Amino acid sequence: MELTKREDVLKFAALVVAKDYNSSIQIIDNWLQDNPFDYNAMSQFKGNKNPNKKKKYLGSPQNIYQDKLLPILKAANSSNPKEELYKLFDGKGKINNISIFSDGNAKLKFLNFSTMPKVNCGGAGGCLSFCYSFKSLRNPNVVARWVANTILENHAFEILEDSLRWNLGRAKYRVGLDQVVDFRLYNDGDFQSLDKMISWFDILNKFPQLQSYAYSKSLHLFKNFIDEYGAENIPSNFVLNLSSGVHPIYKPLKKVLAKYDFVRGEFIGIDLGKKVKPTELTKEQKQELRQKAYAMGFKKAFACGGICQSCTNQGHACGMRKLKDVAIVTPIH
């Protein structure tokens, strides 16, 4: 396996999801043997202006897999994964130097949490052909966070809770009584099992200052949760967007779920015939998106502008329950 290739990274990650740590450790060991770090190699970094600049070990795939991920995998493979994983947790925001939560980026300045895409997305269908998360699969730093978080979800939700508590104590997220912290659950990845959904709901109940939202395709798990525990046990600070790309067998569940209060409404990707980023949409293209939504049977539509923190002057549309009957439309890009 070539751990810098997207397909192989996904195969490796699928073993982690399945808790087959023996195989995943073996894969990293073999890859490190076949790809030792070359300290004399020149930096291939695009912006490198100095032809004599040597490659840096820190931040290299070898550094990430050997020094950051292997110890976490070995902890997970031990007889007491939780205890061993706690030894690697700094008590704040990192596990073995990997940040667990992210503060977001220019387009989404919200606290967020991700796991490995595709291999955690049991309800995914058509979205796998345009999933934006795949672009990051060549970035070992990002893969490390996704894999580490997948392992924490497998064995130590307590670490996720402790790390979240620490993050919410940072000046950036400390809020007054009537304020909230927007939290995107699964910027990448999804609810992988009912157990994990329950663990996340437990955490959300403990942090009422969080206003969380997700775009899940794991609709079957929401249905299972409601059948087993009732919709009233879905935390009041959680909002679900029903996004397009769900697996065809779960599509009918959109209608079933739409009636519940925790569901905001549909979030749909529409093909404009060419790739356009939401931030670059013209007025005419926004109009075209809305028209296409009306043609699909939606009565109201809102074109996503792509910058979540300034999406509307009352907050971000995807987290607004009052937009329940509004289809939010975005170009497939």
28 vs 108, beta carbon nearer ligand SF4 = 108
Task: Give dist(CA 179, CA 234) in Å, integer.
Answer: 21
Tell me how far, at minimum, the Cβ of 281 lies from ligand SF4, in Å. Answer: 11
**In angstroms, what is the minimal distance from the CB of 57 to ligand SF4?**
37
Q: How far is the CB of 331 from ligand SF4 (least distance, A)?
A: 11
Let me know: does 13 contact 121? Beta carbons within 8 Å. no
The bridge status of strand 94-95 relative to strand 98-99 is antiparallel
Q: Which is nearer to ligand SF4, 148 or 239 (CB)?
A: 239
* Closer residue to ligand SF4 in complex, CB, 125/315: 315
Q: Give contact residues for ligand SF4 (rule: CB under 6 A).
A: 304-308, 311, 316-318, 328
Q: How far is CA 272 from CA 49, 156, 285, 296, in A?
A: 39, 43, 8, 14
Residue closer to ligand SF4 (CB basis): 125 or 306: 306
Check: CB of residue 300 under 8 Å from CB of residue 327. yes
Q: Are 197 and 212 in contact, with CB atoms under 8 Å apart?
A: no
The b/e string for 277-295 (b: 16+ C-beta within 10 A; e otherwise) is ebeebeeebbebbbebbee
For residue 76, the minimal CB distance to ligand SF4 (Å) is 33
**Which of residues 88 and 311 has its CB atom nearest to ligand SF4 in the complex?**
311
Distance CA 84, CA 75 (A): 5
